[in-house]
Each structure stands twice: as structure tokens, then as C-alpha cells.
Structure 1
Amino acid sequence: MSRASLRLFLSNAKRHVSQCLSGGGEHHLSFVIGNQSADLDSITCALVYGYLQSFTAQTAKTQGYIIPITNIPSRDLRLRPELTALLKNVNLKPSDLITLDDLGNLHESLPSDRTDWTLVDHNALLGELGKHYSKRVKAVIDHHDDEKAVPQDASPRIIEKSGSCCSLVVNSFRNVWDSASTSSTDTRTGDIEPEEADAQVALLSLGPILIDTVNLRSEDKTTPHDRQAVDYLESKINSSRKLHQTYERDAFYNQLNDAKSNLDALTLPEILEKDYKEWHEGDLTLGISSSVKSIKYLMDKDANFTNVLLEFAKGKKLDLFAVMTAHNESDSFARQLLLLAVSENKAIDVAEKFVTANQGDLKLEENDPGLEASGSKWIKIWQQGNLAASRKKVAPALRKVM
């Protein structure tokens, strides 16, 4: 008995998408997609969901494929060294992934009513895809605040707090996964023993869970969902004749964390692009970049720091741009927040209202070394004393005053 490896699954899925988009006819495609920041959790959630859900996809319209989409162009994959490090552990390369480039002008090739979409690690389909396909969202698994954009009758509709969204994906698929591991499969499409396939998927899933919970050591981030998922995934690895001999949790975490923390090869604009999300509220647009290095590290990247920020924000057509850091400072975890009002008048008013409403809760201590950005009259930096307040909390606070 054999089963498709992750690599073979992705190869077949990519070929299926290409044939459907180029061949015309009455094709129906089912997609699962992570959020626009395309961080490790978001990318992995889509891969794991697509792979496991395809075990249950027996309908003719999907032909057994749930297509996992990495929500960035392929050129941006190089900005995620931790992704490359994780994929290498499971015999994958970034080029194996299905990105926005593989979809091309999807809305021109495939009417919305011949698609359905599952969201993982977000619960509102945004951007260009959202304009055309938001009404076709049929399922969601997420750990952010519920934006009420996904219908209540979606199946599944799982929106719960967890350190990693991948924990929710794994836990929701345990019955399906265990059943697939013990049942016979179509050997015509198989290339790997079930135990090895399971161990690969388990190792892939563990990556973002360990990163997002700081190896299960963060009391603020780790939830029972995460601990339950790690126990289950490590049992899959221990059932593998190959991987159980080489897997060690701390070493695996350190390998990925070291890769994620190494931004030396990236330019400042590339760091800003690496983990970026965007929202539209009313007539204003907000963008937030997250960084694992301090503001000082970013400033040292480019002598024209603030002007680079402004040009990046203008290129995205933003009114407000924030940079949030989560980094180690004197062997302690620290957060900083930079906020830039790109446009004047209303954007500055929103920025000042945000500070007034949230300075106490976020424990913001201004740390502005006299920054100036040509073309902007408002830019501030704070040390953020509330270390539990990640982008999941700051973004809704900004959007509320927008």
C-alpha cells in the first residue's frame, strides 16, 4: 500500500490547476488559501488542509483535489528563509508550492460560481481575490477575531484562539487523518509508505506550531489546542522508521527559529514585504509589516530609513503604515511599534485617536529619535510594554478608529 507524498500531491495539484485554467470546459476548482502575509503558519495551514482534505474529496467536480494556494507571487518566497528550511525537512522546495502566479488572471479564466474557497489563518478574503470570490467562501479555520465575513453555515467554521492556526487544522482532521492512514489507497498515484507520508505532514505541521508558541514555552501564546496538536503530530513522527530517529523538538525549533531570525541578506523593503498585511476601512487603507528584528536593526539597514518607509507605503497606496517588531533585546523579549501617517488630515487624526485610545492598554512609551520623512508630518515610535499585544490586537484597534 502506498500514498502520494506531499511533493507528488502538489505536483499533481499544480498540473490539475493548469489544465483546468487552460482547457476551458465546465471545470470546478476548490481552493484553500492562507492570508496575505503568507507567513509560515498561513502557508503550512493551506498545504496541510489541502493534502488531508483531499482524502475526503470524492466528488466528481473537484476530482479529488483541494488546491492549496500560497497567497503571494513566487518571487516573494525567497523572503521567507524559515519556509525554505522547513520545506527541506519534508523533501520540498519553495518552487513546489502553488502561488498566485499559478492562478494568473483567475477571474478571467474561471467564473466565481465554478469555484469554492476555504480560508485558513484568516476569515475574510481580501485583495484582488476577495473582489471576485469572497461570496464563494464555504469554509474557514482561523485563530483571529471573527470578522463575520464567512457565512454561519460554512462547514467547517472554526474560529478559535490558538497560538498557531495549524494546531486547529490538525486537530480538526484527526479522524480523517487516522482513517486515511489505515485504509487502502489508490497505488497508481502513490509513491511513499503511509507512515512516511504521515511523518512528513506531521513534521511540516509542527514547524509553525513550535515557531508561533516559542517551542510551547510562551504562556501568552500557547493554548491546549497547540499542546494537543504537538502530542498528536509527534506520535505520527514516532511511528516512522526514518524520521523518529532524527527528530528532536528543540533542535528542530532552533533550526527554524535561526532561519527566521536571519534577515541579513534582505534589503529594508524586502523585510517590510516579508510579513505584510493590509486592510481597507471606509476610505482609508492600513498596512502593517511585522519584523523579528528591532527598529534599530531596520534603521541600520538603510540610511534613508524613514523615506524608504514612506516610499514603500506610497507604493502600496496606504494612508497609514505601521511596523511592529517582536525581537530579543538584552536577552529579553521586546516589542516596538512604529506608526506613519502617509496622507495628511484624516490619517493624522486617526493616528492621534489611536494613540489616545490605546496608549494605556498597549503600554506605549514613546521612543522617537527625531525621525522625519519627507512628505509626511506624522511618524512615531514606541516601546510596547504590553508584550501579549501582537498584530492580532493592534490591527483591529487601528481599524476601529479608521
Structure 2
Amino acid sequence: MKIAVVGGGPAGLYLSILLKRQDPAHEISVYERNAAGSTYGWGVTYWAGLLDKLRAGDPESAAAVADASVTWTDGLAIVRDQRTVHRGDAGHGIGRRRMLGLLADRAAALGVELAYEHPVAGPDAPELAGADLVVAADGVHSALREAHADHHGASFATGRNPYIWLGTTKVFDSFSFAFKETGHGWIWCYAYGFSGERSTCVVECAPGTWTGLGLDTMPEGDCLALLEKLFHDLLDGHELIGRDRGAEPARWLRFRTLTTRTWHHGRTVLLGDAAHTTHYSIGAGTTLALEDALALADALRGRRGDPAALDAALTAYGRRRRAELVPAQSAARLSAQWYENLPRYMDLPPEQMFALLGQRHSPLLPYVPPQLYYRVDRAAGRLEALRRLKRWLGPRVAKAVHRA
């Protein structure tokens, strides 16, 4: 097939790798509107399960991503001025620019044509003429999706809290949180390493805190200085890095959650953020986009340019991914709501608040008093541990009795 991929983010690049590996005869072009090496954000996170899937899809790029990633197992929370640590599963971080470079190198080595600084205006663009398949991997503001907006049924929900995406020279060896109370309410930060030199910091607060502290109008330099002061014990004297906006206000955002009803229109199919977004607080955006690419490549396996066969494959892909996304979208919605109702949990002892932070995906938590939920959850955990111990001991006790 002749395949045009619009958007050179992780999903578009990885799909081109998968399809070229399936059939080297595919003619695949990736069109990216930005320059090579230009990207937003700092680092991305993922968990070990994604690496297993990437190894199955393309062992070479998976090995490159793993080698360029950093790993942590602990979670650290600073609540007011108190520190608490929780052990957890291994998480991974990698610089977004580094990941894109690795995937682009792999795609080019396989024969994919990469065209940077090459925007595609819409479905009638000459670059798409003659393509059997057009992949809209052009992000949340997808021009290809919006050309058939009614058909795709895109729906946006904007979150309440403003947030800002920053970097720092502090290298974190754990996934770290800091919650600070100000005279205008709470402000908090998520931070994680993605290389040996840099980390990501995402700062969030309620609208009243944002305006009360003057962050809505403050020049970026003053904004970073204030945030460095507020989170001094987390940053250990290291600086925060923004977008070099000078006297302009810092770029605070409100997260827009996107869902779409239909993922393809004719020969055009949506991928990654063009089809869906999930709140950054669950750290799953890149993972879900790469899983889209895996699912789409699987649906297209062995397909040629026959329109009927292609339509069936794209329909199956959309149906599968919409179903698979339901748990992640639910978790993201509940996670965002937990932070939007943060004061509800801040009178708990720090270790209890941190424990409920880990339970923020529970649909019951918003309706149960936090202290009661914590006690019941701890009791249930102890009961489960006892059940596991009994299951482990049962056969061994029976053997000992039999020998006696």
C-alpha cells in the first residue's frame, strides 16, 4: 500500500516502523509540520508492560528506548514540610525529544520517508493524493479530523485546574510530589527524571490559587522564581526551566479531554491524540498512543489497498481501541477529579493522604469519607495478605501432616 502518515509524533513514527516491518513493499511517508528535533514537553513516562509490547512489535526500537530510559521504584511526597515514601512498581522516563529521535532513526533505516517542516493542510492536500491509507496522527487539534468533525463526533471536556509543563536541572530518582499550602489555597507539583541531566515538573493548582498568587499575569521569569521558592525543598536549589517567554506571562493550560465516536472516514484513520486524550496525571498519553499504533498495525496485517477490506480493518481497529481505552479514560477522569477536590484529603496525616493519592482511580473514593476509606482499604489489604498466606501455607501443611 501507499501510506501517508500526517504527524511525526511517537504514534505516527512507531506505526510507520510496524507497517514497514510487516511489508517492506509499503510506500510510507511521514509528514511533520515542525523541524526535526523540535517538540513540546520534556519527558514522558511509561511502565514495564509497555516495553513488553514494544519488544513484540519491533525489538530493535524497543531496545533503543529501554537503553535511553531511566527507572525508579519509589514514590516521594512532600506535604507541607513533611516527607513520606512509598514503594511501588518500576516506572520509566525518557526525554520526548530522545524518543522521537530514536523512532525516527529506526523508521528511516527501514526505508520510511520522513518530511519535516512539511505541514499538511487538510484531506485534499496534494501529499495525500494517491495514498491508499491516510493516518491522522496530527494531534489533538487534528486538521484531518476536523475536516469531518460531525462524522467523527469529537467531544471535548476542559478541566478546571490550570497547569504548567516545566523542566528542571534537578534529577529525581523517584516519582516525586510536593503539596504546598499558600494564603490562596493549595499548589502542587509532580516531578520525575527522564535523563541523567533533566527532569520534568508539572505544576497544578486551583483557579483561585492561580489568580490569587498572580500566576495568571506574572511574567514567566517571575513565575518560575516564585515556583522555585514554593518548591525549594523538592528542587534542592535547582532551577525550573520554561519556554523563555521573557516578559510575557508563563504558558499555563487547562487540560482538554478528547473522545471521538468514529475513528475513521473512508481511507483516513485517527491515531493517538487525534482520536483521544487522557489527563496527564495518570501518565499514560504516550503509552496509549503507541498501543493505538500496535492495534492499527495488527488490524492492517496482510491487507492491501482494496477499499472494502481496508474499511473492515479500520472499523475493527476503532472498535477494539475504544473498548480498550475505557479503563484508562475512567482512571484519568477520576484522577483529575481527585486533584480538583484536593482540600478534601489534605487534613489527613501525610502518609494517609499519599496512600489515597494512590487510590484516586477508585470510583468509591469521592463518596466515602477519606479517613474511613483509608481504614477500610488498609483492613482489606491485610485480609488479602492473610488469604494469600493461607493459599501458600495450605498445600505445605497438608504435605507435612501426610508425612507425619
Q: How does the TM-score come out when normalised to structure 1?
A: 0.26
TM-score if structure 2 supplies the norm length? 0.26
The structure whose Rg is larger is: 2
Higher strand proportion (structure 1 or 2) = 2
Higher RCO by CA contacts (8 Å cutoff, separation 6 or greater): 2
